[in-house]
A and B are shown apart, each in its own frame.
Chain A
Amino acid sequence: MIIPLLKGLATTLRMVFTKPITLQYPEEKRPVYPRFRGHPELVVDDDGERRCVACTLCMVVCPSNAIKQITPAEGEYHEKYPVEFVVDLTRCIFCGFCQEACPKAAIKLNNLYELAQYEKQMLIYDIKRLTQQQSRLRDGDWL
């Protein structure tokens, strides 16, 4: 009768001195593997400019029609760049086809996985919110 109880307590005692396997989410976030597919975002170069040239190949390849709109414009040096880029994350299936199709490595799936929202509208990203930002979740060698 007492033996199983002691066994249990011994396990408990042993666990008190080992590293826990759970994380204190949301204070602590689980790191993901390098090939984890989060939601797409627009890559920014060292000079702070987006790489995207609005060729719309990602829009063509997107199987779930999540990339809604890409509006191109002509810059001062005749470069082509997007002035609007809308991705509906409620439709995104995180397949990564856009990343694969992109000839400029300008769209990549990041490693963010916290996409729960109260309002659907919050998940329709415009160009500003799609543009890559520094995030504490990302590994240093993410790119």
Chain B
Amino acid sequence: MVNLTIDGRAIQSEPGKTLLEVAKEHGIFIPYLCYHPALKPIGSCRICVVEVKPGPPRPLPACATYVAEGQEVVTESPRLRAIRQELMKLVLINHALDCPICDKGGECELQELTHALGVGQVDLEAQPTAPNIDYVSRLIERHPDRCVTCGRCVHICRDHVGAMAINFMHRGYFTELGSGLLPLDCEFCGSCVDICPVGALINKTFKYRARAWEVERAETVCPFCGGGCTYQVHTRDGQVVRVVNEDSVLLCGRGRFGFPVLTAEDRLRTPLIKENGAFREADWEEALDLAARRLKEIIEEKGPGAVYGVGSPRATNEANYLFQKFFRAGLGTNQVDNPARYHYVRALEALAEIFGWPQVEGAEAGPRPREAYASPLTLTEAAKGKGFSFVLGTIEDLPKADLALVVGMDVTPELPPLGWAINEASLKDDFKLIVANPRLTKFDRNAALSLRYAPGSERLLAAGLIKALLTAHPDWTPAIPAQGLEEFKEALKKATVKEMAKKTGVDEALLKEAAELLAQAKAPAIIFGAELLAQDKGGQNALALADLFLLVGQPEAPGSRLYPVAEKANTRGVCEVGVLPDRLPGLQPLTSELAAKIFAPQAPASQPGLTLPEVLDRLEADAEDAPQALYALGGDFLRWLPHRSRTEKVLQKLSFMVVQDAFLTDTAKLADVVLPVAVFVEQEGTFLSSDGRLGVSSRVLSPIGVKPDWQIISELGRRLGFPLKYSGPAAIFQEMAPAMPLWAGAAPRATVPAAGFAAAPAGRFVPFDLDISLPGRRPYVLIVGKSLQHSGSFTTHQPCGTLVVTPGAALELHPEDAAALNLAAGDSAKVISSYGEVTAPVALSADLPPGVVLLAEHFGEPAAHTLTLNSNLVRVSIQKA
């Protein structure tokens, strides 16, 4: 601890803090303009100057001066006041005094500072400069005439977002915020807008919609990706006008600009019933009665197993929990699954194979939690856990790692917060990044090594790394207690580094270097995403990377963890609350007695249900045990499952289908009853983020005509003769949380499993396949990937703000390929695979290697999965359309 005095007050502080931070903690006011808690000190405005003794005779900026033993700090004196006032006058010299129309008016730090420092008028004059206002850029408007050149936006864009889209132009008095005299062409995350202390950067979707003091604020969790950002949603007159992250300021484009989708014209507002092939609007009673009657008929005729349920990563934990309870307690079957089966569940199963399913001890019922969404289970001192949940990392801890290996994932489109964490880690000197991807991604710039491998060869790459490491270090012992290393080495005997290098297309020396970096790392993290899991051998890919982690992981070091990416807001939650055919809530086995209590008096069936792919296979084969009815909590299977034409054909074989969704998706169009649901701030509940953080969605708007998922499930249950009666989502949470020891200590914004568990991960090496399965003779490899501006299909409905940036999917290909095909940007190209064809506009991208093309999967048109068979990789040929 450091002892110092500020304005005569004796203060103790931790070393390494700045004077400004310490003063703020102790309620001592020091005015500032360029400092922001989310950023490193900038020190450009000098308004926070203080007198420091011992020190130089001139005042020092408090934001960039670190505390030292015996310091005497004076924050207020006539000299300091004169300096601050003079600096403020210089800032205000030509500040555009358009506070009445500036959106920042009322929450402007310059306004507050002018009041605080009592600067009544500016007696200085300067040559006026041209305002150069940028009205042209999309989503963001720039007013350089309001800029105070503090540099916050430049720093957040460079250090945290990693886009480096804006910087200062010119020097001195003529310094101006700019992007090279061109409109902005960045990630459009809008973080610069919210960090701007004045109104120099304006959010176009919020412009002129409300004054700062008119909005009502509520905290909620972002409904888009699996990042689980909690932010404040600002509403006025029952409409969301903007969302702001008041803590770290960082949000991604879809988080910040995606909310207008709530008011989309094509949102469903009344239930629909299909009659003679056409939908008609119905009221809730009629639709629910019909759904219940038809389900009852099918159950009576074919047994309860004939009804199959598909949960949703869009719905809350409470809704998904109730959904699986509907099947387990109501129908007595395990016939539920969720669409993450095609990516995230593969990772879970691979991890479970190596590290085991999570098991915890020492969680017991504690006092009734004060918060509605906090688990009543608390951790005892002896609390410990094992299994794969304890090798999964949190985004917060990632910067503590000293090496991150990112495999097969374009981080920012899949999970923006993970990208920010990598950027934050990259600011450290001792952090190294290895990026392995077939294409160039944003993070290659920060990477110590870039491994450019052939699409679909991820597991070979992992094998190459493992092999190179074991060859260089024959006596390697993993830090995690592991079994089966000898057998594993034996299984990999045939795979040589040279062969792996040849098959993956990565230079052998690079592979060895990467392996050496992994071997040297004190806290290596391994990050992988949906792009690699969505392949037909996605499970094998996950297995390979989990083996690699078992080899090099350092469980004692925070940050040295595995980071499989759960793509949507509740992809991890839907699995953890038990919407799986073979796992109960809390990922407990079907035999768990604790979880069985919640299904009383019905004991959960001991027979695991069918998985979603198995259901589709059986339907296709017209098997005897194929389900007759499907109850989907949401999710557009046609758009997200590979081989669209087959999915469509197979779903048509169902004799009855109920879909709950916010939009009439292509899948919902096949349904017999469509029930519209509340989304985002129209409903209450929790989401579990990709890194296990519990986020609470609060109900701010009253949904018009639609119902929250849990209410619909509960009403259907009542009509089928089993009451699922709850006062609200909080009551559901309080029922499920006691049955899930893995969630002990869970609370809003806290992570599960709680840090209090003494983690004892242990693993067993499991050999994996070493083949590349990318059959066919067509010349190009298509990767069905993610778009930066979209999350699921939700953001593809007007008037979502990010549609301005990315209005549709484009076929991205290398300029050389385009030239060979005689295609130019903007042309439309016909993409043909053995399973279908689509027409898409062409975009050129030098990020892709020649021979590899990319198409985003979010859009209804062109529907990327028309082309695929069982993987997100497919061989295609391309023609000019």
- A interface residues, Cβ below 8 angstroms from B: 53-57, 60, 72-74, 78-80, 103-104
Q: In the complex, A54→B101 CA distance in Å? A: 7
Interface residues of B in 185-215 (CB under 8 A from A): 207-209, 211, 213-214
Per a CB cutoff under 8 Å, which of A55, A78, A103 touches B211? Answer: A55
Residue of B99, B105, B135, B208 with highest tally of chain A CB at under 10 A: B208
Knowing A72-B208, A80-B208, say if A55 contacts B213 (CB, 8 Å).
Answer: no
Seed contacts A55-B99, A55-B105, A78-B135; 8 additional CB < 8 Å A-B pairs? A53-B100, A53-B101, A54-B101, A54-B208, A57-B100, A80-B208, A103-B99, A104-B100
Q: Using Cβ atoms and an 8 Å threshold, which residues of chain A touch B99?
A: 55, 103
Question: Which residue of the partner chain B has the closest CB to A55?
Answer: B100
Question: Which residue of the partner chain B has the closest CB to A106?
Answer: B100
Chain A nearest CB, measured from B200 CB (Å): 15
Residue of B100, B133, B214 with highest tally of chain A CB at under 10 A: B100
Chain B nearest CB, measured from A129 CB (Å): 23
Per a CB cutoff under 8 Å, which of B101, B133, B135, B209 touches A55? Answer: B101
Count of A-B contacts judged by CB separation below 8 Å: 27
Q: In the complex, A56→B208 CA distance in Å? A: 11
Chain A nearest CB, measured from B133 CB (Å): 8
Chain B nearest CB, measured from A51 CB (Å): 11
The 4 closest A-B pairs by CB, nearest first: A55-B100, A80-B101, A72-B208, A103-B100
Q: In the complex, A92→B819 CA distance in Å? A: 72
Interface residues of B in 155-196 (CB under 8 A from A): none
User: How many residues on B have C-beta within 8 angstroms of the other chain's C-beta atoms?
Assistant: 12
Knowing A74-B208, A80-B208, A103-B100, say if A56 contacts B214 (CB, 8 Å).
Answer: yes
Main secondary structure of the interface of B (DSSP, over half): loop
Chain B nearest CB, measured from A123 CB (Å): 23
Q: Using Cβ atoms and an 8 Å threshold, which residues of chain B touch A60?
A: 213
Q: In the complex, A49→B101 CA distance in Å? A: 17
Q: In the complex, A54→B135 CA distance in Å? A: 20
Knowing A55-B100, A57-B100, A103-B100, say if A73 contacts B105 (CB, 8 Å).
Answer: no
Q: In the complex, A80→B214 CA distance in Å? A: 17
**0 or 1 for each of B97-111: is its CB under 8 Å from A? (1 = yes):** 001110001000000
Q: Using Cβ atoms and an 8 Å threshold, which residues of chain A touch B101?
A: 53-55, 79-80
Chain A nearest CB, measured from B346 CB (Å): 48
Q: In the complex, A73→B211 CA distance in Å? A: 13
17 CB < 8 A contacts A-B = A53-B101, A55-B99, A55-B101, A55-B211, A56-B211, A57-B100, A72-B209, A73-B208, A74-B207, A74-B208, A78-B133, A79-B101, A80-B100, A80-B101, A80-B208, A103-B100, A104-B100
Q: Using Cβ atoms and an 8 Å threshold, which residues of chain B touch A79?
A: 101
Chain B nearest CB, measured from A45 CB (Å): 16
Q: Using Cβ atoms and an 8 Å threshold, which residues of chain A touch B214?
A: 56
Chain B nearest CB, measured from A113 CB (Å): 30
Chain B nearest CB, measured from A92 CB (Å): 21
Q: In the complex, A10→B419 CA distance in Å? A: 101
Q: In the complex, A74→B205 CA distance in Å? A: 12
Chain B nearest CB, measured from A132 CB (Å): 19
Q: In the complex, A55→B208 CA distance in Å? A: 9
Q: Using Cβ atoms and an 8 Å threshold, which residues of chain B touch A104?
A: 100
Chain A nearest CB, measured from B711 CB (Å): 34
Chain A nearest CB, measured from B207 CB (Å): 7
